[in-house]
Amino acid sequence: MPHLIVEYSANLSGFPEAQMLAELNQTVTASPEIPDEIELKSRCVAHASYAVGTQTTGRAFVHAQLRLLSGRSPEAKLDFSQRIVDVLRRLTPQPEGVLVQLSVEIVDMDRPSYIKTRL
């Protein structure tokens, strides 16, 4: 059931989208909290239209959001964040003269109203 959304500012040219998603999915599904790897649906979005603070150049960001059914412990959620930020740190390009911010957010999804099925 988890959903992972990775967004990044498009000035991070060469951002390795496919590798990023592959390695993120590897580490996230390796958590004991995820019983079946197939449940993790991940996507990557490059933003050509972005702004970081009030300065127009020299800044970039990557933000990953993991959406999980509610009920995980604070420790389990923090563990997910750490798994994710480790991959972001390793694979995000660092263009010369650009300050790159990385962030990871865990979101609880409302469990009673969540529906999942397969065609």
Minimum CB–partner distance for residue 13 and a second copy (Å): 15
Decide: is 1 part of the binding site for a second copy (CB under 8 A): yes
Cα Rg of the chain (Å, integer) = 15
Decide: is 87 part of the binding site for a second copy (CB under 8 A): no
Among 13, 32, 56, 57, binds a second copy (CB under 8 A): 56
Q: Which two structure tokens, joined as six digits, stand for 61?
A: 């960001």
Decide: is 91 part of the binding site for a second copy (CB under 8 A): no
Integer distance in angstroms from the first to the last C-alpha of the chain? 15
Decide: is 38 part of the binding site for a second copy (CB under 8 A): yes
Minimum CB–partner distance for residue 80 and a second copy (Å): 7
Among 13, 14, 32, 54, binds a second copy (CB under 8 A): 54
Minimum CB–partner distance for residue 70 and a second copy (Å): 11
Pairing of strands 99-109, 41-47: unpaired
Q: At how many degrees (to 10) do helices 17-29 and 74-91 cross?
A: 150
Among 11, 14, 26, 87, binds a second copy (CB under 8 A): 26
Total count of residues recorded for the chain: 119
Nearest to 23, CA basis, from 9, 40, 10? 40
